[in-house]
Amino acid sequence: MENKKMYLKKIIIVLIVFIGFKVPAQNSQDSVYIGVPINLKWSERMALSIMKRHPNAYQIDEQKEPKWDYVHGLVLLSMEKLYKENNQIKYYNYIKSYADATIDDKGEVKSYKFENYNIDMITAGRILFNLYQTTKEERYLSVIKLLRKQLEEQPRTNSGGFWHKKAYPNQMWLDGIYMGEPFYAQYTVQFENGENLNDIAKQFELIQFHATDKKTGLLYHGWDESKQMAWADKNSGCSPNFWSRSIGWYMMALVDVLDYFPKNHSKQKELVTYLNKIAKSVTKFQDNSGLWYQVTDKGSKEGNYLESSGSSMFAYALAKGVNKGYLPKKYREVANKAFDGLTTKLIKTEIDGEIHITQACAVAGLGGKPYRDGSYSYYVNERKKDDDPKATGAFILAALELNR
């Protein structure tokens, strides 16, 4: 009898893993998954795992209260793409629940501080375009316009580049290109007849010109036009190292912004050229595992490690670049090799099918308090975090582009 019970338990576990186990959710149009079926594509397995860990979308990144933030923007954008592919309403509802938790009935976002001019805060606004289109709720449009107003007033370098934030004067970071430009491109195409596409291209031109290393072809994490920051090279103004995730942000920004540049636009080919240059350079530093190291060019130097968020971003940008015809088809092999490395080396699976992505750098920046000097030691000693949203969101995007 005891053996029979054990056998039945095993059968139940197998069924949960393979087909998922649903329970009704209160006030929901769908069900909440307790288990995550392993026969689904990787994109959906990761999305369901995130939703299992964080039943409310604002809880992503272990938040206790609703917070307007770029990490939620990245993850929910990936779920928006997933929803558009499989039309499962639970993903749309999850995205909407975040917007509704952070935006009140008057269209105000309590956790957003306009006066900080923090370009990170722009990217979550990308989820509002589709929400406004499908609901016509004016509060979503109000926030979209508020974020556009921030970009209008965003402090700039003397050469015309957006500061990363008010607290970081004269600095452009690769991260900030992703945070601001795809939203800006979508807005100017939908509401301004594309009149500011040249300004968007200018942001890439400045980074490409000032932050590219002539020897490796890689881009440095940050550039200080004033050359006043302690981390800035006194000749170039660049930070001292290559951080894979920052380059990943830049590559994702390129492929996402190109969605809004018509082929006959004078700057479209220029942006495609930038993408080809960085794709070629990044591929040179891909490890045999398919992954990339935290500090891109330093390989297995002591302390360096194979990092999941940057590797996922590279896989996404390369795959999308091929799919859109911007990159040669050979880069699809590079992206697939990266994805194989992620799934075989950095993904862990629970008994109920829930998946986790490991070895993600939790956060990295330049300057600030305590001071971040951009040194090799700084990057490799920043905290690692499993299931960091910069990794999970990029992983979903990569899985979708590769149809894995």
Give the residue numbers annotated as catalytic, written as ranges: 175
Contact partners, residue 159, CB within 8 Å, separation at least 6 = 206, 225
3-class secondary structure, 269: helix
Please give the C-alpha separations between residue 377 and each of 249, 252, 301, 304, 372, in angstroms, as whole numbers: 21, 26, 11, 9, 10
Calpha distance 377→301 (Å, rounded) = 11
Q: Do residues 120 and 176 make contact, with C-beta atoms less than 8 angstroms apart?
A: yes
Residues 6+ apart with CB under 8 A from 386: 348, 356, 357, 358, 359, 360
Using the structure block, give the residue that is written with the tokens 């990159």.
327
Query: What number of other Cβ atoms are within 10 A of residue 134's Cβ?
Result: 11
Main-chain phi, psi angles of 29, to 5 degrees: -85, 0
Task: State whether the Cα torsion 152-155-160-165 is positive or negative.
Answer: negative
What is the C-alpha to C-alpha distance for residues 81 and 169, in angstroms, rounded to an integer? 35
What DSSP string describes 117-158?
Answer: --GGGGGGGHHHHHHHHHH--HHHHHHHHHHHHHHHH--B-T
d(CA 274, CA 205): 9
CA distance 389 to 69: 11
Specify which residues 33 forms β-bridges with: 22
End-to-end CA distance of the chain: 43
β-pair partners for 32: 23
371: helix, coil or strand? Answer: coil
CB contact at 8 A, 172 and 164: yes
